Structure 1
Amino acid sequence: MPARDPGPSIKDPELYERLRDEGNSKEKAARIANAAAATSREEVGAKGGRAGSYDDWTVEDLRHRAAELEIPGRSSMTKAELVKALRDH
């Protein structure tokens, strides 16, 4: 199988390909690969604050976050479906 060409906007193509092979979306893989290239792979995982579990959020809050991320079909999703969609984004 020929190697995929992620394009010039991907700063760490090796990491991008590994993330895609693990099943991550193109957007998520690009975001992580570019963040890792800007600093280091070790620092990327340490970035960010601590957020509560999506399981503790209300359906209204989950839908609002899904809207921010433009997740399609969010208005008809159950809480479990919203949580899965947000985690997989």
Structure 2
Amino acid sequence: MAKNHGKQIKNDAQYEALRDKGMSKEKSARIANSPKASKKGGQASDLGSRTKSELLAEAKKIGITGRHAMKKEELIKAIRNH
């Protein structure tokens, strides 16, 4: 049974599974709290199919600095590795 992490984590079981895989607390929480978490087994839509504006918004949401100077491919890499 998944540990209850309180209101800040919406999907406790998914959060714990991600932490067990070695992901950071921040990244695990972001994925477990994502509204798209249930889609495709926890994966959001393909980053390559998003516009640069959508990628900039995602980068801003997760706190990536220097995002406006990045090309689309660099944004995708930064988001994936954050």
TM-score when scaled to structure 1?
Answer: 0.50
Amino acid in structure 2 at the alignment position of 1:49: S
Q: Count matched residues.
A: 54
Deviation at 1:49, TM superposition (A): 2.6
Percent of residue pairs bearing the same amino acid type: 28
Aligned-residue CA RMSD (Å): 2.5
Q: Give the counterpart of 1:49 among 21, 38, 41.
A: 38
Corresponding letter in the other structure for 1:63: L
Task: Select the residue among 29, 45, 48 that pairs with 2:24.
Answer: 29
Flag the structure with more relative contact order, 1 or 2, with Cα contacts below 8 A and sequence separation at least 6. Answer: 1
Q: Which runs of 5+ in 2 are unaligned?
A: 1-15, 30-36
* 3-state SS in 2 of match to 1:52: coil
The gaps in structure 1 that reach 5 residues or longer are 1-11, 20-27, 35-47
Matches within 5 A, 1:3-82: 19=22, 28-31=23-26, 32=28, 48-50=37-39, 51-82=44-75
Residues 21-74 of structure 1 show CA distances to partners (whole Å, capped at 9, x for unaligned) of xxxxxxx51243x8xxxxxxxxxxxxx233210000000000011011110110
Displacement over 4 Å in runs of 4+: none
- Whole-angstrom distance in 2 between the partners of 1:58 and 1:49: 23
How many angstroms apart in 2 are the aligned matches of 1:86 and 1:49? Answer: 19
Which secondary structure state, in structure 1, belongs to the residue aligned with residue 24 of structure 2?
Answer: helix
